Amino acid sequence: MENEMGKICAEGFTFFGKSNRLISHELKNIFAIISETMGLLDELVALSEQGVKLTPARLRSMSDSLLEEVERANAVIRCMNTFAHSVDEFIREVDLNEAVLLTIQLIKLNPISKAMKIEFMRDGAHMIYTSPFFLENLLYHALNFALSAAAAEKVITVSLFADGNHAGVEIAGIAPGGVKAFPTPQTELLVKTLGAEISSDGSSGKFQLVLPQKLPQGPVEALLAT
Amino acid sequence: MKLLLVDDEEKFISRLAERLKLRGYKADWATTFDDALARAGAEKYDIAVLDVKMPSMSGIDLKSKIERITPGIKFIFITGHGSEQDYDTVCQEAICCIIKPFKIEALVEQIEQALNS
């Protein structure tokens, strides 16, 4: 059990670190755009002082662009803040919609994923009692796997379902035969930790993460008790 | 003096190109690999300034492809990843790696050093 707890902690720290790197990279890109826009604006104003024409339309376009980047940065920081609150209460009621949405936002910060499309069909509230942080960790791996194994269309669709004592996430759009490689060894521990199951028929290009309504007794609860 | 600038952030790379033009450089820019390779095939550039991480392909892979089209071209990498490990890896592949956001003078200094080396 101790070894298992150690592995879960290590996995969680790695996920937290990766997410912070993605956020930092995105913010640095935004700062770079703001820096170049301000630099160009400064140079165009200096040129206009020497008689080179600077039109109001050009100024407005650059001003709008700065506002857009501030909005973009604000969205990234909102995502960072929501993610940081995932560990406020280690086990609590979680709306699967919110967990999926947040994880997609994190994944979309990765430049590599920008060439792909993730379509999420939001549904009515799907509340489960689980660890939001490790749920996001599992969703992160599941969605990254789907992106890496996506069919030629490069569109991954995510939807939710509920079934008696379970709720779950269906991920589709994987190339034929690609589903067999999931769960990866990296994710097996998270699947076990959350009392989840992976369901797929191999040929359909989709798999389901089936989650219990209530997290069973296991390493996460043990971790909190120690 | 011809520069090819490649980064998937269009606003960033187009404005950087405009600022370099104001300083007397001929600077073309691209936001995709296909466009970058097409430009490299159509024009002989002295230096390529490449983003390290972009959708579809890494800047290091793009460097290899451009090198095959334009032997002798020099490379400068730019990146938003600030870790020492990333920095060291990328520095081995180019004249230097500049971390975003940067002052344009830092890039100009590297461009001039590359041209005079």
Q: Give the pLDDT score at A226.
A: 47
8 Å CB contact between B8 and B55: yes
Q: Chain-wide mean pLDDT for chain A?
A: 91
Whether the complex's predicted ipTM is more than 0.90 is answered with yes
Indicate if the pLDDT at residue B16 is higher than 60.
yes
Q: How far is CA A44 from CA A37, A105, A132, A156, B21, in A?
A: 10, 36, 49, 44, 12
8 Å CB contact between A33 and B11: yes
Domain annotation covers residue B60: yes
Residues in chain A closer than 8 A to B15 (CB atoms): 33, 36-37, 39-40
Whether chain B has a CB inside 8 Å of the CB on A73: the answer is: no
Average pLDDT over residues A160-181: 90
Domain annotation covers residue B59: yes
Domain annotation covers residue B93: yes
Q: Looking at chain A from residue 84 to 113, which residues have their Cβ under 8 Å from any Cβ of chain B?
A: 111-113
How many structural domains are present in chain B?
1
Q: Looking at chain A from residue 146 to 175, which residues have their Cβ under 8 Å from any Cβ of chain B?
A: none
A108 pLDDT band, cuts 50/70/90, is: very high
Q: Give the pLDDT score at A5.
A: 79
Q: Do B22 and A25 touch (CB under 8 A)?
A: no
User: For residue range A34-87, what is the model confidence (pLDDT) as tens digits?
Assistant: 999 999 999 999 999 999 999 999 999 999 999 999 999 999 999 999 999 999
Whether chain B has a CB inside 8 Å of the CB on A48: the answer is: no
Provide the CATH number for the domain around residue B87.
3.40.50.2300
Average pLDDT over residues A109-132: 90
Domain annotation covers residue B15: yes
Higher pLDDT, A175 or B90: A175
Average pLDDT over residues B54-78: 91
Contacts of A55 (CB under 8 A, 6+ apart): none
Q: Do B8 and A47 touch (CB under 8 A)?
A: no
For testing contact with chain A, the best of B23, B83, B100, B105 (most A CBs within 10 A): B100
Alpha carbon of B85: minimum distance to chain A alpha carbons (Å): 13
Q: Do A31 and B100 touch (CB under 8 A)?
A: yes
8 Å CB contact between A34 and A69: yes
Interatomic CA distance for residues A153 and A175, integer angstroms: 9
Q: Give the pLDDT score at A215.
A: 86
Domain annotation covers residue B81: yes
Indicate if the pLDDT at residue A225 is higher than 60.
no
A1 pLDDT band, cuts 50/70/90, is: low
- Give the domain extent around B23: 2-112
Domain annotation covers residue B117: no
3-class SS letters over A143-204 = HHHHHHCECCCCEEEEEEEEECCEEEEEEECECCCHHHHCCCHHHHHHHHHCCCEEEECCCC
Domain annotation covers residue B68: yes
Q: Do A37 and B11 touch (CB under 8 A)?
A: yes
Q: Do A69 and B11 touch (CB under 8 A)?
A: yes
Indicate if the pLDDT at residue A224 is higher than 70.
no
Q: Give the pLDDT score at A219.
A: 65
Higher pLDDT, B15 or B52: B15
